[in-house]
Amino acid sequence: MQIEFSASAPSQVSLTATIVNKGDMPAGLDTALVKGAEASRFKGSPGQLFEGFTTSGDTVARVALVGAGDKGADNRRLNLEKAGGAVIAKYLRSGEEALVLDLSAAGLSASDAGAVLLGAKLRSWAHDKYRTKLSSDKQISLKTVHVVGAPDGADTDWERQAAIARGVEFTKMLVTEPANIVYPESFVELCKEAFAGTGAEITVLGEKEMGELGMGALLGVGQGSRRESRLLAIKWNGGNDGDKPSVFVGKGVTFDTGGISIKPAPGMEDMKWDMGGAGAVAGGMLALVSRKAKANVVGVMGLVENMPDGNAQRPGDVVTSMSGQTIEVLNTDAEGRLVLCDALHWAQEEYDPAHIVDFATLTGAMMVALGNEYGGLFANDDTLADGLVSAGKTTDDKLWRMPLGPEYDKLINSPIADMKNIGGRWAGSITAAQFLQRFIKKGVAWAHCDIAGMVWSDKPGATHEKGATGYGARLIDQFVADNAE
């Protein structure tokens, strides 16, 4: 879907959507339209939409009023994104090929206008490539949004928002594609294509290189798969020379059967999105690179497939991580932390980060605790944690801080190795975080985001269809904007 700025509404477009503040009906509207909106209890609440028709001679125009909420609301930007998303949700598959989006009535700033358009763009993404028999009335029809009444500077702000949208859409694509399409090698190739010509530096380690570095934990997870594991790093030097980079690390288990500790069959198909952390990092990096962020940033992704082959890792095996610490693998379905521990150690060795943040669909226990409303946040540094929480509030990629402590740490002590990879029935998300913390060097500010409940949704949201949400990409971009640029 294309977004184009116009001085006036194209005469051939018969559909107009007008953004309206709550309780502030624009002057000059057709009386029938106003009365119809009142009868339908349209108040202008965020994302609320009323549709009617107006006539002028023999011409009939389709008109929508879309609520943006209170002009002075603290969450004004998110409300405007909801408004933009609501327009597209209504008309994306409506048969209309174009619409006029009128921003003149809501008193918007350039940034406000960008929020509306970002919401519209994000909500327009859909994945129909495998739906070969989709009936015509369910196919995407909307191709162009003509923006009129935009404030000065809106087109410039939109360039930034379009870059962010590009990153979020990349995350959605990676998370949505099935595991026979996105696997470690193809994930790397898709990133190479997406970042080609951007100036980002890409580093790829294969199994031979990782073996030489001693990454026994990561390699152990993938040893049962015919798909070779990879470690992918994307580096962007947009800041000052010598400034330490912000480093983001993503869990990229492109399919997770559980390994020998195999998962139940019902719902296993969902495990194509167990690479949602790596998808968030890749998309966040693409957003930053696309808008030429003035910061030094690195994204590192550990990419594996966890399969129950005759060569697969067994419960009870002991592996040696790149850090030299040994791990007793009691459950091969607690594999994400094994991937992350080597990726985290390598990232610290390689890049000497200002701070390091990992994203992972790590534990079902996180979903038990927080459902699908918040990602869990664990951190050894209050400033870093506060920055991530704040960025999440701005983008609606919400995070809720969880505890760490020595009382939980002792639950992962092993009688035969330095640690075990599970801690028992209780506090599963916390013991997973405690496991990762053992691989963070002294003095390094670190945060772990367990986003198991956030990367996929069984129902549509304000800026996404049912399915991949794109969670994490905007959070990374906003955190860098707030704290590193």
Catalytic residue ranges: 263, 337
* β-strand pairing of 49-56 with 59-67: antiparallel
- Tell me the residue length of the chain: 485
The strand pairing partners of 99, in sequence order, are 145
Calculated CA dihedral for residues 148, 153, 159, 162, nearest 10 degrees: -50
**Residue 156 in contact with residue 14, Cβ under 8 Å?**
no
The strand pairing partners of 65, in sequence order, are 18, 50
Interatomic CA distance for residues 360 and 373, integer angstroms = 16
Calculated CA dihedral for residues 337, 467, 384, 343, nearest 10 degrees: 30
Running DSSP on this structure, what letter comes out for residue 137? G
Among candidates 135, 126, 242, 235, which has minimal Cα distance to 191? 235
Q: Is 438 exposed, middle or buried (0-12, 13-18, 19+ CB in 10 A)?
A: middle
Interatomic CA distance for residues 482 and 324, integer angstroms = 36
Q: What are the residue ranges of helices labelled H in 40-75?
A: none
Q: What angle do CA 109, 115, 117 make, to 5 degrees?
A: 105
